[in-house]
Structure 1
Amino acid sequence: MIDFRYFLVSIAAIFLALAVGVALGAGPLKGELDQQLRGTISAVSKEKDGLRKQIADLQEGDKYRDSFAADIAPDLVKGRLNGQKVVVVALPDADNGVVKGVEQSLTSAGATVTGTVSMTDKWSDPSQRQFLEELATRLVTGDVRMPDNGSAYDRAGVVLARALVTRDAAAAGRKDSATPTIMGAFGEGDLVNSDSDLPQADLAVVVAPPVQAKAKPTPDSDANQAWVSLARSLDSASRGAVVVGDPSAAGDGGVLASLRADKQARGAVSSVDVADLASGQVATVWALAEQATGGVGQYGAVGTTDGALPKRPTAGS
């Protein structure tokens, strides 16, 4: 047991130390401490003002960059996709501004957007995988070869691609007899939201959602694999596909990160990770033109890429 006298002595020592501190602070050390404190506050204030100016300068630089890119973008994409038919596939929670920007850039490049297909979370929900596969199996047409060892997402992606795209440039822009049945069934199953009678396209752009910082999935999550499988299916059934998104989509947990980590997918499907910028929308058009001629690349600002954008394509390629 602690001696009571020792306890009293300890308490007295604490109060004595406090008293000495107060006395010194109010007496001989007061001026020195006040001066040091004022100096520290002044230095921090100057540093804060300097940082504010740096931020303001960076913001002005960003405004100039974005304005410049927006001004020259129409000339950079003009005629790059003349005569091409492109379908836009928006994944769940894709940024509407990015979707609209991509559609506008495609139109400025001379392409015809055959339609915009909005995917739902149900498509990539693991609990709905069996339903997805069974429905896809019932919708297979005679001219579709299903992958022997593919996943449910591979099989469903092949069927959806059959409805939306074609490798035959001459057939692009025409309505196919199988499209209403396939799109109608997927729509009834709450897997897609779209017109059920779209003309077929010969190229595809998939718009990935940004990654929310509060809940990042792992790069090999079921949802991401579902979307990578869909992108591969669209690419295989058409003349080319590009997956686009903002920089977060190429970071941890993003669809673009999963695509780029998949050796087979990155060797066939292109990507652009700055599609929220005018410069990125130019890169999207150029990447699509590159796909149409058999090329592939990963473009943008995040991680290891093939550069900001592909080599300048020739008009109408």
Structure 2
Amino acid sequence: MIDFRYHLVSIIAVFLALTVGLVLGTTMLQDPLLDTLQNETADLRGQTEDLRSERDVADRVNAGADQMVDAASADMLDGRLEGLEVVVVQAPGADADTAASLGERVEEAGGRIAGRVEIAPEFVDPANTAFVDELALQVSADAGSLSGSGPYEKAGIEIGRALARAPEPDEEEDEAEEEDGGGAEEGGHDPASALAAFVEGGLLTVRGEPAGRSDVVVMVSPSSAEQAGRDDRETVNTVLTAFVSALHDRVGGLVLTGDVPSSHGHGMIAQARAQEADFATVDMAGRPMGDIVAVLALAEDIDGDGGAYGVGEGVDGFLPDPLPEPRETADTEPSPEPSDGLDEARRVVPGGE
């Protein structure tokens, strides 16, 4: 039978073993362990310094590239959007400075900002989905054509229709309109009234007078900083991507711009590229290089060849290659070729009347 003395001896033996282990650990193993930790710390510190130096060099290279591209922007953008009316559309949480700098590049390329449309946060609020759907049906001149489309696709179709420039009528149509007394567009659709309905519904803010004037659209996606940590990021960007796809079908040329992080994960540009959207995307907006590439991508998308450009995931390249050619506007007449007088001389027949 085990008595108390046996338990006492066992407990003393355990504590003695622990004491011996601690003594050995703090004497025999102390120096090698400390040396190892110090060496690893020194290595990590060296790697950190190397990475910091590489980052500083990369920042200087990028800053220099922006300066160089900025200096060459006049030649790169000259005439690429000549004669086009452009509407800038800002998603909820889009960076206002980015939208402004893109507008400046559009004008540098010969385009004209017809107006700006800011999408309100209420537009993408799940609680307003039914309202968005109902409003799109109310403003539509042909509600039956919207059947089968989701609420935000319907909204994209109708807002795009309200923004898009109506095709120029020929002379016979002009005469017919004069006989009929003019009026709204075919089917009684009034672009300004349709756009105003979304404004009055608290879904949009409109600056300028873009209704019925847009040839192409620059869409600015939500900034990654604004969406950081939001649980509904994926849902919001899915909704906006559906809206932009429908908008593009109506207005023709469109480029979706955003920062580099928006091309990763659940970012809006990442979702558009994953769905193989047929409009152009650029993921470097907000810096000179990105804004210039965005204008070039927009000029390319006018012909239906929009690609994915930048440095993020799923790009076709850094910028369009070859670059889109400058546009020739209808009021630009080719200069007559210089004449040396020989043609006139040939028209004069000796002895003729």
The two structures have a TM-score, normalised by structure 1, of: 0.83
Among 273, 278, 285, the residue aligned to 2:283: 273
Which residue number in structure 1 is paired with residue 26 of structure 2? 25
Identical positions, percent = 26
Indicate if the aligned counterparts of 1:234 and 1:240 stay in contact, CA closer than 8 A.
no
Contact 1:140 1:159 in 2 (8 A): yes
How far 1:159 sits from its partner (Å)? 1.5
Amino acid at match of 2:105: S
**CA RMSD across the alignment:** 3.1
Distance 1:149 1:39, change over 3 A: closer
Match of residue 214 from structure 1: 229
Task: Confirm or deny that 1:245 pairs with 2:245.
Answer: no
Letter in 1 for 2:230: A
* Distance in 1, Cα, partners of 2:262 & 2:24: 60
Secondary structure of the residue aligned to 1:79 is coil
Kindly indicate whether residue 206 of structure 2 is the aligned counterpart of residue 205 of structure 1.
no
Deviation at 1:147, TM superposition (A): 2.4
Aligned to 2:199: 187
SS in 2 for 1:315: coil
Residue 168 of structure 1 deviates from its aligned partner by: 2.8
- Native 8 Å contact 2:115 2:208 kept in 1: no
Q: 2:108 — aligned with what?
A: 108
Compared with structure 1, are the counterparts of its residues 39 and 157 closer, same or farther at alpha carbon in structure 2 (3 Å cutoff)?
closer
Cα drift, residue 140 of structure 1: 1.7
Distance 1:8 1:161, change over 3 A: farther
Aligned-partner residue type, residue 252 of structure 1: G
- Amino acid corresponding to residue 146 of structure 1 in structure 2: S
**After the TM superposition, which of the residue ranges 292-301 and 41-50 deviates more from structure 2?**
41-50
Change (3 A) 1:261 1:195: same
Larger Rg: 2
Q: Do the aligned residues in 2 keep the contact of 1:153 with 1:226 (CA within 8 Å)?
A: yes
Partner amino acid, structure 2, of 1:25: T
Q: 1:280–1:300: 8 Å Cα contact kept in structure 2?
A: yes
Once residues 8 and 136 of structure 2 are traced to their aligned partners in structure 1, the CA distance between those partners, rounded to angstroms, is 80
Matches within 5 A, 1:44-63: 44-63=44-63
Which residues of structure 1 form unaligned runs of 5+? Answer: none
How many residue pairs match? The answer is 306
Partner Cα separation in structure 1 for residue 8 and residue 120 of structure 2: 69
Comparing 40-49 and 206-215, the one that deviates more: 40-49
Higher mean displacement: 29-38 or 279-288? 29-38
What stretches of structure 2 of length at least 5 have no aligned partner? 171-183, 329-353
Q: Is the 8 A contact 2:161 2:251 kept in 1?
A: no
More off after superposition, 130-139 vs 39-48: 39-48
Counterparts in 2 of 1:255 and 1:47: CA distance versus 1, 3 Å = closer
Contact 1:73/1:279 (<8 A) preserved: no
Q: CA deviation at 1:136?
A: 1.8
Distance 1:303 1:19, change over 3 A: same
Q: Give the equivalent residue in structure 1 for 2:123.
A: 123
Contact in 2 for aligned 1:275/1:284 (Cα 8 Å): yes
Q: Secondary structure in 2 aligned to 1:194?
A: strand
- 3-state DSSP class of the match of 1:195? strand
Tell me, in whole angstroms, the C-alpha distance in 2 between the residues paired with 1:225 and 1:30: 58
- Report the alpha carbon displacement of residue 7 of structure 1 after superposing the two structures with TM: 7.0
Q: Which amino acid aligns with 1:17?
A: L
